[in-house]
Amino acid sequence: MSEALIHRVKELEAELEKLKSQLKERGGAGEDMELTSHVNTDCRPDGNTSNNTSSSKKGKKASKERPFDFSAHPRRHVALRLAYLGWAYQGFAVQENTDNTVEARLFEALLKTRLIQERQTSNYHRCGRTDKGVSAFSQVITIDLRSTQFGGGLGVTLPESVDVGVKNKASASELPYVKMLNRVLPQDIRILDWAPVAEGFSARFDCQSRTYRYYFPRGSLDVALMADAAKRYEGTHDFRNICKMDVGNGVLQFERTILSASVKSLQPQQISSTDQYEPFVFEIKGLAFLYHQVRCMMALLLLIGQKLEAPEIINQLLDVQSNPRKPQYSMAVDYPLVLYDCHFEGLSWRQDSEEVNYVLSALQQHWTQSAVKTHVIHGMIQGLEAIGGVSSAHCWLVEGSRQKNYRPLLERPCCESLESRINHFVKRGRLERGEGENGGEAVHRGKRSKHSHNSLSLPVSAETPSSEQSTNQKAED
């Protein structure tokens, strides 16, 4: 090694030591490492220091960022109406074992836009709790959001520290809630509109009715028979045999009121045909629904449409005195089910025409892609039928595999009775027995229940509770 090169290396080392000592004097241990990297890179012929400089600037900017002061802003209690395609999600509500839910994405957007500080203090209620794979066109939530309305207004709570001059000042326009959220939400979750509501208003308890739709093709089904059978659901009945009993979470009564139920074609203007691809919909409107109730109702209609069961099977399963235990049967699949409408009285929904068009455009694009794929598959089916293929009469909308020999529902093994399920969860501590209002024995949520803070009791001797309990207890599909 030449003496000139050795001399140069020593100069660089001396320079490095000098820089290190300067950094130590300033107390910048973190910057010491960064500058060391900078000097080493500078010694290389192809040295590039732009990345280090950029990251340094970002770090300084982040350290100077002030926390957002929510206490300086008014809060407003609002209703948000949203639509979502639920096929890629594990349900609407947040769950402990997954974050792949619509509600998780929604709260990520609310936090990112700083419309709320945290979920726990947001006064949040949802209208319906849709299951895995289920979509919604009109889900509604109520929540407290950050507002600009220092002059007050419906649902507005002013910050304590605001002075009188600010209170009397003319209010600015409200934050564009719909636009703010839609810009950060996934494409398959869209806010449609919002409405100011009174502080005590709840999307869950103030909903007048909920409407579900289940879409299906005619296939080989007897849709007229299904339409006749659907009417048997109307009225107030005990649906324990037409749902999944969620006793462990405190759902101890199963009376629900169905306002209307129908099966109808989505193309009523066309002359009646037997086209197996003609789309139909089962539409059901009720005050509230039990866990998996709609999918169980649809499963029975599909059995009736295939003429495997008579329409009278619905009346028999609703008669819990004669049939106190649910026969084992598979539910209808999840993806055709939609929470179509949540009805409220007195709300003034505020829409942004630009946002409506934005959502509409995205849905039209999605529909075009899906419709083209549908026609491609239909063309393949027609091609196979043209060369002698025979289409299957199998119904593809029921979970599980179809048995070769059908066994009537009332001849099948039955699930546990309600009393047996209650005893099971009492032993596990999820439910507890105690004294009822009239001195009799009652069951209520135990200390180990996830929902023990919202206790509901039920007299053991009365398996059919009052209509008031039925209305207030919401265990949604």
Neighbours of 456 (CB within 10 A): 17
User: Looking at 99, 131, 334, 341, which residue is catalytic?
Assistant: 131
- Report CA-CA distances (Å) from 87 to 92, 135, 139: 11, 7, 15
Q: Give the 3-state DSSP-derived string for the chain, with helices as H, strands as E and coil as C.
A: CCHHHHHHHHHHHHHHHHHHHHHHHHCCHHHHHHHHHHHHHHCCCCCCCHHHHHHHHHHHHHHHCCCCCHHHCCEEEEEEEEEECHHHCCCCCCCCCCCCCHHHHHHHHHHHCCCCCCHHHCCCEECCCCCCCCEEEEEEEEEEEECCCCCCCCCEECCCCCCHHHHHCCCCCCCCHHHHHHCCCCCCEEEEEEEECCCCCCCCCCCCEEEEEEEEECCCCCHHHHHHHHHHHCEEEECCCCCCCCHHHCCCCCEEEEEEEEEEECCCCCCCCCCCCCEEEEEEEECCCCCCHHHHHHHHHHHHHCCCCCCHHHHHHHCCCCCCCCECCCCECCCCEEEEEEECCCCCCECCHHHHHHHHHHHHHHHHHHHHHHHHHHHHHHHHHHCCCCCCCCCCCECCCCCCCCCCHHHCCECCCHHHHHHHHHHHCCEEEEECCCCCEEEEECCCCCCHHHCCCEECCCCCCCHHHHHHCCCCC
Q: Is the torsion defined by CA of 211, 217, 223, 226 positive or negative?
A: negative
Cross-strand bridge partners of residue 264 = 281
Torsion angle of the four alpha carbons 459, 463, 466, 471, in this order, in degrees rounded to the nearest 10? 110
Determine the Cα–Cα distance for residues 43 and 266; give it in Å rounded to an integer. Answer: 74
CA-to-CA distance for 388 and 409, rounded, in angstroms? 36
131 is catalytic: yes
Q: Which residues are catalytic?
A: 131
